[in-house]
Amino acid sequence: MTSVIVWQDRELDETNFATPYVWERDIWIAADSRISTPSEGHRGGRRVLTDVAPKILPIHFDLYERPEHGPGITHCYEGELGFAYAGNTLPANMTYSAVVSSLARMTAEFDSELPSLEDMVIFIARVGGHYARETGAPFEAFVTGTCPRDPHGGAQVYHLTLWSKKPPGYHRLKFDADHRMYLMGNRKDELRPVCRAGFAADISYNPTRALVQLIEETEVGEIGGLLSLARIDSAGGITLFPGYGAAESGGRLPVTFDGNQFGSIGAFEVGLHRG
């Protein structure tokens, strides 16, 4: 299991307007990085399989159309989705692998209507539901992005529930003054009141602090490892932040997933490293 938080960053502007104004910023996702399994012979009743498991992942997609006349195909749209999961890792990762392969190149007839973001969410739910039923292991996921039919309409977030014994479900999440954040995974009863109190006290509250407290607990549990962090911008693009711990978003962000764990790719480092 794991814990995942999604929230919209907000900032109170009391300088540039006659009355205080709330700026709605980007959407953020944070998760821990532990994968563990029950084990009576280990401390805390669980054995850690890895503490460096990415649970917030990008999905790039490309759309093509066949010409009105003659052979060939024409590229017509590209975009990016975010995929974050909590629950059983086998069906979640099989779902991610199948979706990445499926959405990499999609083709339709000339002048076909572009798929909506909901169309892609429905497809992901079908894939996830298949693997959840086949493995008998449920999980849940956040899917983020913008709608190809309205690319300037802002980022959206959907919550998917993939059950092992009933059809999958999904719904779009809304962010407003009463719904600042959403949670997946376990320990929600501990995280929710802490985060709600934080948002009530400070409109720019950073809920990663509450998650880090659980990650840093000394007792071995289902939540642990490092903090993984991603930002969903207004265009729907997802930026992962490995090794990125000095950002300011309502306060200093805790050190995130170590992007140097596996070294560089030629002359390039993993993640964003501003000079």
Q: What residue type is assigned to position 262 of the chain?
A: F
Question: What are 211-253's pLDDT values in tens digits?
Answer: 888 777 656 577 888 888 899 988 888 888 754 443 434 344 4
Residue 242 contacts residue 259 (beta carbons within 8 Å): yes
What pLDDT is attached to residue 218?
A: 52
CB–CB of 145/173 below 8 Å? no
For the segment 19-51, what is each residue's pLDDT rounded down to a tens digit? 655 567 889 999 988 888 877 777 667 788 888
- To the nearest whole percent, how much of the chain has pLDDT over 90? 48
Could you tell me what percent of the chain has a pLDDT over 70? 83
- Sequence-distant (6+) residues with CB within 8 A of 5 are 29, 30, 31, 181, 182, 183, 191, 195, 207, 208, 210, 211
Q: Which amino acid is at 29?
A: I
Distance (Å, rounded) from C-alpha 177 to C-alpha 122?
28
Mean pLDDT of 175-185: 90
**Quick one: pLDDT at residue 53?**
87
**Predicted pLDDT at 261:** 66
